[in-house]
Structure 1
Amino acid sequence: MEKEWNIIDAMRHSRHDWLNKIQLIKGNLELNKIDRAKAIIEEIIIESQSEAMLSQLNMPLFSELLLTGNWNGYSFKIEYELLGSGNAGPELDKSLTHWTKELFLNIETVIEPFLESTLTISIFKEAKNIRFLYELQGNITSEEKIKSFSKQKHHGLQINLLSMKRGELSIEVMADC
C-alpha cells in the first residue's frame, strides 16, 4: 500500500483533489444551491487550516503520512483534526509514523472492504504531552487482531485501546514532548 511520493505524483493527486472540489462548487452553483456551495468552500478552508497546523507539528513523516493517506488506496477514508497548537518534535515523529502505518495495515485487514469506513485522527497538543485519538467507524471483522496489535509496545508511546464495539474502534496514543 505504501508508496514513495515524488513531487510530480503529489502534484498530480493534489490537482485531482482540487479539481473535484471545484467541480462540486461549480455543480452546486449551477443548481442554484448557493448555501451548499458556501458550505463546501467553508470545508475547504477548514481543511487547509488543518493541513497548515499539521505541518507545524514538526513531525514531517507523520504529516506526510496523513496528507497522502487517502491516495494510498486503503478501504477506509482518513480524516484528521488538530486541537491545540504547538510543536511535537522530531523524536516522536519516527515511532508514531511507524505505529500509525502498522495500524493502517491492520485496519485494512479487519474491515469490510466494500462498506464505507472512516478513520478520524484527533491530535490534542498540550504543554508537556501530545495525545492522538484514533477513531474508526466501520465494520470490524476481527477484534482479536486489533486487540493484539494494541497491546504491542512501541518506543515512547503509551497505547490504550479505549473501546471496540460493533462498528466503532477507539485507540488513544500518548507521548511526552
Structure 2
Amino acid sequence: MTNQLDVLKALRQTRHDWLNVMQLIKGNLALKRYDRIEEIIEQVTQQSICESKISEIQATSVVYFLLTYNWFSSKMKLEIDVAGEVFSLEKNEVHLLRLCEEITEKLTNECTIDTENNLLITFLFTEHKCELTFDFQGKLQKKEDWPSFLKKWESNVKLVEMNEHECVLTASFTRS
C-alpha cells in the first residue's frame, strides 16, 4: 500500500509542476512574450533530458533524492546538470547519497531565507570518472565550520570557492 501511495504522491507532484509550467506559458502567451515562452520550453526540455540521464546512473536512492529534493525543501532550489556518457554509479551509491544529503543539508541550514538560494549539481562523466560539482549561489549565514565538515570527507571533497554568496565543492568517483 505504501508503494501505491508513493506513486500517487509522485504523480500529484508531477502534475502540479506541469501545471505551473503551463501557467507560465499561458501568462506569457497573454502578454505576447513569445521569446519567453520559447525560453520556458527550452528550460523544461533541458531539465527533462537531465532527469532522464541521471536516472541511468543505477543508484536508485541517489536519483530519488535528487529528483524529489525540491518537493520537500523550499529554502534552496536544486537543479541537476548531466554531461558526458553516463555510466553506473551503483557501487558508489551509499557514499554518493551520503555526500549529496550532507552537502545539501549543510547548505540548506546555512543559507538565509531572505535570498533566492540555488544549488546546481553537475555530473560530468568522462571515460574514467564522474566528477560532481556542487555550485551554490545565494547567501550563506556562516562559513567558518566548513573546514571541519570537509575533513571528514578526507580528500574526496574539495572546496573550490567560498564566500558569502557562493560555495563551490567538487568530488569525484572513479568508474568501476
TM-score, structure 2 as length reference: 0.91
8 Å Cα contact 2:51/2:80 also seen in 1 = no
Superposed, which structure 2 residues align to 1:12-161 within 5 Å?
Answer: 12-153=12-153, 158-161=156-159
Runs of 5+ unmatched residues, structure 1? none
Cα shift at 1:74: 4.0
CA root-mean-square deviation? 1.6
User: Using a 3 Å threshold, how does the CA distance of structure 1 residues 135 and 71 change in structure 2: closer, same or farther?
Assistant: same
The answer for the alignment partner of 2:160 in structure 1 is 162
> C-alpha deviations, 1:9-42, integer Å up to 9, x for none?
1111111000000111111112211221122111
Name the CA distance, whole Å, in 1 between partners of 2:111 and 2:42: 31
Secondary structure of the structure 2 residue equivalent to 1:121:
strand
* Identical counterparts, % of pairs: 27
Name the CA distance, whole Å, in 1 between partners of 2:31 and 2:141: 41
> C-alpha deviations, 1:50-95, integer Å up to 9, x for none?
1111111222211111111111124111011011022133111121
Name the CA distance, whole Å, in 2 between partners of 1:37 and 1:109: 34
Secondary structure of the structure 2 residue equivalent to 1:32:
coil
Name the CA distance, whole Å, in 1 between partners of 2:56 and 2:122: 15
Name the CA distance, whole Å, in 1 between partners of 2:137 and 2:147: 16
8 Å Cα contact 1:106/1:145 also seen in 2 = no
The answer for the alignment partner of 1:175 in structure 2 is 173
Aligned residues: 171
